């Protein structure tokens, strides 16, 4: 199965690489225009010289060929706006985004599973109705609005958590104290990103559990005298996780796009904010490298989800 998935992944990544290159080139302006606007003007001769140095005066097909050659050697070029190699710029911003994604996905998955099972266990009671209502509210609210609301409540009114940033500037903290400081700064963006998906996963787990209530294996487990808790958590939940895992893999792309909004709202120094800045500054090399990395990440995540699904339910036809 893994070999078949890899055979599908390679042409997918190749197609996305080609599409990304030409789509980025359709953005009005180029890095030179962005740099000149930032520098408040320059003569045409200077702009032509910079375009020649960056290879932007070559035909688009020649630029594409040079880009493919560099990518094949894992050379993503030079970031004109950051005055550093693209790979160094991305690696510097990568782990804050990974940290944010891990915590937000953890919050949404654990919370969604717990609330979904709870709603199924107490079906048609006030607990079920309350969970369903809150899930609908969270699902309907835009992520940036949730973030701003959390900032107003926990940062402005209660003064419990920082407004944004990655850590306290100039605090000099190290070790556990530094980790706790980063955790305080990460709480609001992780919650903002996770709450929307928590609502989605809660509704999905709840619906999946309801579909399994009349299954033969559930009736058999109850006939054996097992407690309702055991039936729900040990027998029904593994089957209900299959569509949840599939959805997580599918939604990873939208999760990465949501990071751009969240990191911009909370001034989080990750890849999402870097993507936004690269698009504004027409930093082609950075933008293309991030898009390619995101594509590879989504493809790998879907491969892992397929393997996990097959492991959870070995009767699934994976071919």
Whole-prediction pTM: 0.80
* Measured CA distances, 290 to 72, 273, 294, 300, 312 (Å): 16, 11, 6, 15, 32
106 pLDDT above the threshold of 70: yes
Query: Residue 3 — pLDDT band, cuts 50, 70, 90?
Result: low
Look at 27-31, 79-83, 98-102, 160-164 and tell me which has the smallest mean pLDDT. 27-31
| 85-113: average pLDDT | 89
Predicted local confidence at residue 25, as pLDDT: 82
Look at 13-22, 37-46, 137-146 and tell me which has the smallest mean pLDDT. 37-46
Phi and psi torsions of 85, nearest 5°: -60, 140
Predicted local confidence at residue 317, as pLDDT: 44
Please report, for the chain, the start and end positions of each structural domain, with discontinuous segments joined by +: 86-143+191-312
Predicted local confidence at residue 241, as pLDDT: 79
- Tens digit of each residue's pLDDT (9 = 90 or more) over 202-212: 988 888 888 78
Predicted local confidence at residue 8, as pLDDT: 76
Q: Which fold has domain 86-143+191-312?
A: MetI-like fold (1.10.3720)
């Amino acid at each position: 199965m893994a070999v078949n998935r890899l055979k599908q992944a390679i042409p997918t990544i190749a197609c996305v690489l080609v599409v990304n290159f030409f789509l980025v080139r359709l953005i009005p302006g180029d890095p030179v225009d962005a740099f000149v606007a930032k520098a408040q003007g320059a003569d045409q001769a200077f702009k032509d010289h910079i375009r020649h140095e960056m290879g932007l005066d070559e035909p688009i097909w020649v630029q594409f060929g040079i880009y493919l050659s560099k990518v094949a050697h894992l050379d993503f070029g030079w970031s004109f706006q950051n005055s550093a190699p693209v790979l160094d710029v991305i690696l510097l911003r990568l782990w804050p985004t990974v940290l944010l994604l891990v915590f937000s996905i953890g919050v949404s998955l654990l919370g969604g599973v717990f609330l979904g099972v709870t709603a199924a266990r107490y079906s048609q009671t006030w607990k079920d109705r309350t969970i369903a209502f809150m899930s609908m509210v969270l699902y309907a609210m835009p992520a940036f609005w949730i973030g701003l609301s959390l900032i107003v409540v926990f940062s402005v009114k209660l003064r419990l958590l920082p407004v944004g940033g990655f850590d306290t500037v100039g605090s000099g903290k190290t070790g556990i104290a530094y980790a706790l400081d980063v955790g305080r700064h990460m709480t609001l963006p992780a919650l903002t990103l996770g709450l929307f998906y928590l609502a989605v996963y809660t509704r999905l787990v709840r619906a999946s559990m309801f579909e399994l209530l009349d299954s033969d294996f559930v009736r058999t487990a109850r006939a054996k005298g097992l407690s309702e808790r055991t039936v729900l958590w040990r027998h029904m939940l593994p089957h209900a996780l299959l569509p949840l895992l599939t959805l997580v893999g599918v939604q990873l792309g939208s999760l990465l796009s949501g990071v751009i909004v969240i990191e911009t709202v909370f001034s989080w120094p990750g890849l999402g904010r870097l993507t936004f800045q690269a698009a504004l500054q027409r930093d082609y090399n950075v933008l293309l490298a991030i898009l390619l990395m995101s594509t590879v990440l989504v493809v790998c995540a879907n491969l892992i989800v397929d393997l996990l699904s097959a492991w959870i339910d070995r009767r699934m036809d994976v071919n």
